[in-house]
Amino acid sequence: MFETVIIISLALIAISSFLLIIRLIKGPSVPDRAVSLDAFGINLIAITAIISVVLKTNAFLDVILLLGILAFIGTVAIAKFLEKGEIVENDRDQ
């Protein structure tokens, strides 16, 4: 029963990731691709959590927090590049 639930949830996340990759390839604009990559990062977090349940270890819990932080910083950097044209400004008041 438990293994069935694990397999079904992994399959559903795999389907969701596949659809996100389709949006990543076809996406007509750059923000579409950015949002697709952000959601793909969240899917990776879910996959890591389920795999750590399967392997009965808690060594991957750091990876989950790390992926969350990296996905946030990456998405913010892409958004700032699209908005202002540069990621790290020298002086914002100029």
Partner 1 sequence: MKKAGRKTNDIILQTITKIVVFIIMIFSLYLFFAGHNAPGGGFIGGLMTSSAIVLLLIAYDVKTVKKILPVNYIMMTAVGLFIAVMTGVGSFIFGVPFLTHTFGHFHLPVLGDTELATAVLFDLGVYLVVIGVTMTIIQTIGETE
Nearer to partner 1, 8 or 61 (CB): 61
Q: Which residue has the tokens 């959601």?
A: 39
Residue 92 contacts partner 1 per CB under 8 A: yes
Nearer to partner 1, 3 or 62 (CB): 62
The residue count of the chain comes to: 94
* Structure-token pair, residue 28: 């007509």
Q: How far apart are CA 23 and CA 27, in angstroms?
A: 5
Nearer to partner 1, 56 or 92 (CB): 92
Residue 14 contacts partner 1 per CB under 8 A: no
Question: Who contacts 17 (Cβ-Cβ below 8 Å, separation ≥6)?
Answer: 40, 43, 47
Q: Which residues bind partner 1 (CB under 8 A)?
A: 59, 62-63, 65-66, 69-70, 72-73, 76-77, 80, 83-92
